[in-house]
Structure 1
Amino acid sequence: MRLLINTATTFKGGGVQVALSFIHECVRFPENEYHVVLGENIAEVVNEEMFPGNFTFYSIGYRPAQRVFSLKDQAVFFKTLEQKVQPDFVFTTSGPAYWRPNVPHLMGFNLPHYLYKDSPFFGLLPPMQKLKWWLKGSVIRHFTRKDADAYVVQTDDVNQRLRKWIRSEEVYTISNTYGSQYDLEPEEREVLPKKAAGEFRFLILSGYYRHKHLEILNPVIEGLQAAGIDAIQFVMTLPEEDFHRTIKKANRQQVLNIGPQPPQKGPDLYKACDAVFLPTLLECFSATYAEAMKMGLPIVTTDLGFAHTVCGDAALYYSPLEAKDAVTKIRRLYEQPKIYKKLVEAGKLEMKKFNSARERAEKYLALGAQLIQNSNKWIK
């Protein structure tokens, strides 16, 4: 099978992790021929020399989405490449692709802003921002519906929402998971300073995005301070500029910001912390949830559908915009070891619903093969 893997529209966040994982796992399936278009951020972290001879890589000098309203053809690169490669099918890891190939096209979808209109995130936005998201969503829905034969998502909840949004039954669920680095023994690197006596650390492994709602950490810290609890520290991974813009100066004594970290340091970070706090208001799937469970850490997160779908009984949930409720759940976890242990044990059970990185790649490839078979039947 000759496969064209398109990561050109994958720019940041969890989509980058999914694309990288899939590309590396494809090495385990040497019977195929892989032609990989690398998006700009993915190209920076892929060492092409480490891949065998059945891999060919291509760099694209632009992001297709940036040409949607320009006079330049956003698909010109792909049209030329498709003629050259003659793939059996195309897999766009994160759509929309802004291009319709002439062979079966499987597209990943992980844009929660357009599926979770009921999220409290939109209540925080001024009217013009809401209008912007609505207009952008109209464009994305058009290209999503037009350019693919089938779609793959990460949870059943997203599956049902996407089916309604694009009016298609060709939506398949293949669960996201933690990266393969979490199956290795941590290297015992000193990624954080040693804890003070009695210190309890919550890891917030996230970049700055408005929907992550990291600003709630300010009233959360103030609530803990008012209760006389200063042993809790929050570990953040923000660029300094984002950190200083997000966390008030008076609250920074309870925050350890270590800046952005490469994925391979993830296991060491989890091992150096006691729990995970994720105040996000919008997700299709957050790998942080799966990573926390794999590393044996309990979770405190928002009481929203996507979080329940992934975490199940492995988390304490708080009302999304209520800092007081977040403080209550954080204190419950911190002060009650029985609850801590119960969540960790629940996480071990919840993990059974996740694919391994290899299983996920295998299912992507199997779905592609099925699309090819169906296409051949239709031609006949």
Structure 2
Amino acid sequence: MSQLPILGWDQQLTLLQKLWRVDWPLLAVAAIIAIIGTATLYSVAGGSFQPLAERHAFRFVLGLGLVLVMTLITPRAWMALAYPFYGATLVLLALVPVLGVEALGARRWLTMAGFSVQPSELMKVALVAALARYYHWLPAERVSRPLWILLPMAMIAVPVVLTLRQPDLGTGMLFLLIGTAIMFLAGVSWLLFAAAGAASLIALPYVLEGLHGYQRKRIETFLDPDKDPLGAGYHITQSKIALGSGGLEGKGFMQGTQSRLEFLPEKHTDFAFTMFGEEWGFAGAIFLIALYAFLLAQMLHMAWHAKSHFGRLIAAGLSMTLFAYVFINIAMVTGLVPVVGVPLPLMSYGGSAMLSLMAALGLAMSSHVHGRHYPRRNEIGPFC
């Protein structure tokens, strides 16, 4: 295969052929969700594009360019970069407790060259890429052997521990779910998962004992939100009121009373779905969920038709990441799970979350576009 070794540019496909193979319906639906998110942030700001809506739209346009650039580069190049990307992101994650900016009692952001970066968001993509690279190389008969499970377990455990130190329980649990999903998709025996589940149940009391006070409070509030409706239960109580008051058709754009009267907190980030649901009602909420379902279906379609093990694990793993984001956020604002601070993709305000999602789409699209021009399983070693 004739390639530029640095950029991983596949010369067997012309630029027009690559652009023709891009999943444009997926990008169109992503754009629709981003437009809805921009409109919601416009409403949050009381009818002003600045600063929330303007920045959100600008970040999506930049992210769209990132998707197209990543799509044009072969999966072979992304496979070569998987470990360095994971390592660099791990270093950033380790620096957060030391150099991170503190907000609301937690350190989750690093400030670099005037920009705030949340390394945990980047790690969600880096972890999937690194695990996909590892299992692409590993022969199928070794996948469930204890010796060959230690490295991927360490690759999952280290970012989980670093994230819990920030503290960020929600993201740490997401890392665990994503990593477990990749190992399952790679073919690790279900008996090992059963053993891990049993060990987790045994360790659960010790984990609960080690939680920070506010984390235990969130769990208690989830179990009984009416116990302290003006304190710890305020967020979820106001979220339920706002969603319920939206009815079937909603109160109308910029007409939500809970948000307008400032009863609904964090409506530009964690509770963006609540803001949208109050204004557009149950019908609007179902429409938005249908758009996310389409994105998920398209990414799973890419995974199903991927020509390489790496591409299959990348697309499937990132599909599970998208599902986890959407499910946990919506379940959180409706009171089905504790409030854990997970943003809603393309809707919630946040540059790192937008960047990580668009990078995920770019990686999945790269495997889809390049089709048969891919490295065969075991062709590339584990660390080279």
Q: Same fold (TM over 0.5)?
A: no
| TM-score when normalising by structure 2 | 0.22
Would you tell me which structure has more helix in proportion to its own residues? 2
Structure with larger RCO (C-alpha < 8 A, sep 6+): 2
Would you tell me which structure has more strand in proportion to its own residues? 1
